[in-house]
Chains A and B, each alone.
Chain A
Amino acid sequence: MADNERWLTAHHDPLAALYTFSSCMALADLHGDGEAKLIIADLGTGAYNMKLKVYKGTNLMSENTLIDLPTGVITFHMDTTEPRVPAVAVASGSYIYIYKNLRPYFKFTLPTLEVNPAEFDAWGQARDDLLDVSMLYEILDSLRQEVGECGLTTRSQRFLMCPDHTSQTAFLDQHKGFILKRQTVVTCVSTLKKSHSEDDAISCLVLGTESANIFILDPEAFTILNSMSLPSVPVFLSVTGLYDVEYRIIVACRNGQIYTLKRGTKIGRPTAELTSQPVGLIRRDKTVIVATMDHHLHSFNNKGKRLWCIKLPGAVLCLECLELRTLSLTLVALALADNRVLIYRDKHLVDTIHTEDRVSAMRFGRFGREDNTLVLVLKGGGLVVKILKRTARFDIQDADGPSQGQVVKLNIPKKTKLFVDQTMRERENCVLMHRVFQHDLYRLRLSTARSYVQALETSSNPISLSQTEPLKLSAQVLGLGPTFKLRVELQNTSPSCPSLHLAVIFHCDDRVYSVNKSYIQIPILVPGIIHVAETLLTCVSELGISDTVRVFVVKGKSSRPLLTAVINMPVAEVFMAA
C-alpha cells in the first residue's frame, strides 16, 4: 500500500530537535482564531533545556522554559470567560503548571506524603548534631532495605546517592536546616468535564501519581475534589463522563493490570489483567484498547472481558486514537520500532505509514484548520505532519472473499452407524474416558520419572551433572567389522576446574567381542577441551550377532562410575557376507 495514498505530508522538519512523548503533546485552538496550535512539552536534553513549545502551522510561535521534566500536557477550559480559549496544564514533578494565554497563571502542588517516622527522627537528630554523617547513612540505608527506595523522601534518596564521605557531609550541611518533606510526582494527566459535556465546557483535571493515587482537581479553586487509590502506579488514564453526574476512569497501571474507578468509589476495581506492561491505552465507545510490551494489542469491554487480541509484528513505541468524525470511524495508530506506523480498524490492519526514523510521539486531531491531522515526532527529533486526504477511506479488505478451495463442496460420506454409536458412547462416558486417559498419563509420567531417577542413581547417563566432575561423553563406532574402532570423546564442562585421575573402561561380553585396550587412562582434562580415547574392538562370535558395549568413566579408585554410555554395536557385515 503506497504511503501517500491516504496521507499528505504537510510538513517535514528533520531538524526540529524535539524530544517528547505522546502524553506531552496537545492540539488546541489556544487563541480562539479557529486555528489549532500544536503544544509540545519538550524534554530538552533530558536533563536541562526543557521547553513548552507552541507551533502555529509550521512555525514555532512561542517557547516557555520549564524547570523540570514534563510528564504530561493537556488543554482544558477552566472558566467561562470570553473568548473561550483553553488553558494549558503541564505536569512536571510534583506540580501542575497552568498557563493562560501562554503566560504562567497558577501552580498546583501535590499534597505531601507522610514521612517515615524513623527517617524523620534521623534527620532531626542529624540537624541537632546528635548523629554524625556515617551514622545517618547507616540508619537511612537500613531503612531503605526495609521500606524500599520509594518509601523515602527525595532528600534521603539523594543523600544515599552521594558517593563519599565528604560529599555526604556537604549534602547534610546544606540541607539539614530545612523541613523534611516527602513528595510524590505526577505520572499521567487527563481531563474530566465537570457538569456539561460540550466541547468547551469546564473540565476538572485528573492526575495519576507515583504514590498510586488518582486525584480529581477542581478547575477553579484547584482543590482536590476527590482522591482515590490504586494497588499500583497509574501510567495511562482514560476518563469519560461528567464529574457531577457519573464518570468512569480506566487506568492502566505499572503492574500490568487495568483498574476501573467510578463516581463514589475510593479504590480501583481490578478490571483486566494484561500479559505484560502497557505501552498505551485508548478508549473508544465501550471498549478499551491496550498495547503491551510483549507485542500484543488487546481489546476489552468495559467489564474487562477480552474481546480480541492480536499479535503485532514488532515492539510498540506509542499508540494514538484516530477519531475520524467525517467518516464516523475510530482507528488506532501504532508506532512500531521498525519505522512504521500501523493503522488498525478494530483488529484489521487498514493502512501503513512509513517513516524514516522511529516515531516517539504521536498526536491526531485538528491542527491549523485541518481536522484529520497526524503529528509525529521522531526519535531523532524530527517533526512530521501528515494530513488525511478528504477522499481517503479505510475499508476492511476482506481477503478477496473465500478462496477457491473453500467454495468447492467436499464429498463427505454419510455417517455410519458405527460412527454414530461411537459418538454416543463418547458422549455418555466422557468423564470415565477422561479419567482413564488421565490415569494412564500419570502412570506414563511416573514410569518416566522412575527411569530418570534410576539413570541418575546408577550414573548411567552420558552427561555427569555432579558438581565436582561435570563431564560430557559421546561415543562413536567406526568401521564395518569384524574390527570396529570405538571413539570416545570426553569433555570437561566445568567453567574452570580441571579433572584428574580419570579413566575410560570398555565392558562387553567376551564371547562376542574382544577389546584391544579395555582400560584407558585419561590425562588431566582441561575445561572445554575435547579429549579422544580410541580402541579397537573385534567381533569374535561366529554367530553373526551383535551386542552392547558399555563405556564407563571412572575416577581414581572409586567403584562407582561417574558416567556410563551404552553403545549398541552394529552387526559385523563382513561376517554376514561370509
Chain B
Amino acid sequence: MGVFDKLVFALGLKKREASVLVIGLDNSGKSTMLNHFKSEDQKSTEIVPTVGFNVEKFKARNVGFTAFDMSGQGRYRSLWEHYYHDCQGVIFVVDSSDKLRLVVAKDELDMFLQHPEIRTRRLPILFFANKMDVREAVSSVKVSAALGLERITNKPWHITASNAITGDGLHEGVEWLTNQIKENLNK
C-alpha cells in the first residue's frame, strides 16, 4: 500500500478529491519524492527534470488523489500560481545541500505566501528539508531558520528532514499533512 493510499484511507474520503501542490526549486527532489509514493509497478526508474509540470494521480477506494508536481526551473515557476486556487495542501521541497540557493527558495516562498490566493487561507504547508544524506546538507532547523518559517503564523506548517531516494522522513511528513487536510475537510 503506497503512502497516498494511506493518506486517502486516513482521510476517510468517500468519492472526494484532494489535491496537493508540490513546489520547490529545480533539482530539489520533488519528482523523486513523488516517485517514492507510487506503487511498485508505476515507479519510474529514471527521474528527469520535469518540464512544465506532471500530474500524478492515484486512485484508491473511489477517491482520486492528485499531486501537481511542478517544475522548479526558473522559467516554469510562474506556472505555480495557477494551481494555488485548487489545492488543499502544499508540499514545499528544499534541497538542504544547496546552501547557495536557500535565499532563492526563501524568495520563492515569500512570493508564494504573499500571493492573494494563499495569503488569507489556512492552507497546511509541509516542508521537506530534502537530501539530508548529502555531506554538505544543513539540518532542518537551519533550513527552517534560513526560510524564516517562524514568520508563518496563520497557517499550519511542519518541517522534516528527508531523503527522497530512500524515503526516510517522507512518511512522517505526509502523515502530518494528512491530519491537517482531514481537519480542514471536516470543518
Q: Closest CB-CB distance, B116 to chain A, in whole Å? A: 16
Do B100 and A367 touch (CB < 8 A)? yes
Do B75 and A34 touch (CB < 8 A)? no
Do A370 and B101 touch (CB < 8 A)? yes
List residues of chain A with CB within 8 A of the CB of B26.
369
Do B74 and A390 touch (CB < 8 A)? yes
List residues of chain A with CB within 8 A of the CB of B25.
369
Mark interface residues in A52-74 (1 if CB within 8 Å of B CB, else 0).
Answer: 00000111000000000000000
Q: Is the interface of A mostly helix, strand, loop or mixed?
A: strand
Count of chain A residues with a beta carbon within 8 Å of a chain B beta carbon: 19
Do A11 and B74 touch (CB < 8 A)? no
Question: Which A residues from 346 to 377 make CB contacts under 8 A with B?
Answer: 367-371
Point out the residue from A34, A385, A389, A390 that lies within 8 Å of B100, measured CB to CB.
A385
Complex-state Cα separation, A57 to B25, whole angstroms? 15
Do A371 and B74 touch (CB < 8 A)? yes
Tell me if A125 counts as interface (CB < 8 A to partner B). no
Point out the residue from B99, B100, B106, B108 that lies within 8 Å of A370, measured CB to CB.
B100
Do B136 and A368 touch (CB < 8 A)? no
List residues of chain B with CB within 8 A of the CB of A368.
98, 100-101
Complex-state Cα separation, A57 to B26, whole angstroms? 15
Mark interface residues in B4-42 (1 if CB within 8 Å of A CB, else 0).
Answer: 000000000000000000000111000000000000000
With contacts A34-B27, A57-B136, A390-B77 known, is A8 near B107, CB below 8 A? yes
With contacts A11-B99, A58-B99, A391-B111 known, is A326 near B104, CB below 8 A? no
A-B contact count (CB 8 A): 47
Do A9 and B103 touch (CB < 8 A)? yes
Q: Closest CB-CB distance, B99 to chain A, in whole Å? A: 5
List residues of chain A with CB within 8 A of the CB of B75.
326
Point out the residue from B77, B104, B111, B136 that lies within 8 Å of A387, measured CB to CB.
B104
List residues of chain B with CB within 8 A of the CB of A34.
27
Complex-state Cα separation, A74 to B71, whole angstroms? 33
| Best-buried of B100, B101, B102 by chain A (most CB within 10 Å) | B100
List residues of chain B with CB within 8 A of the CB of A389.
107
With contacts A10-B104, A370-B104, A387-B104 known, is A57 near B99, CB below 8 A? yes
Q: Which residues of A contact B (CB under 8 A)?
A: 8-11, 34, 57-59, 326, 367-371, 385, 387, 389-391
Q: Which 7 residue pairs spanning A and B have beta carbons closest together? A: A8-B103, A57-B100, A368-B100, A58-B99, A10-B100, A10-B103, A390-B74
Q: Which residues of B contact A (CB under 8 A)?
A: 25-27, 74-75, 77, 98-104, 106-108, 111, 136
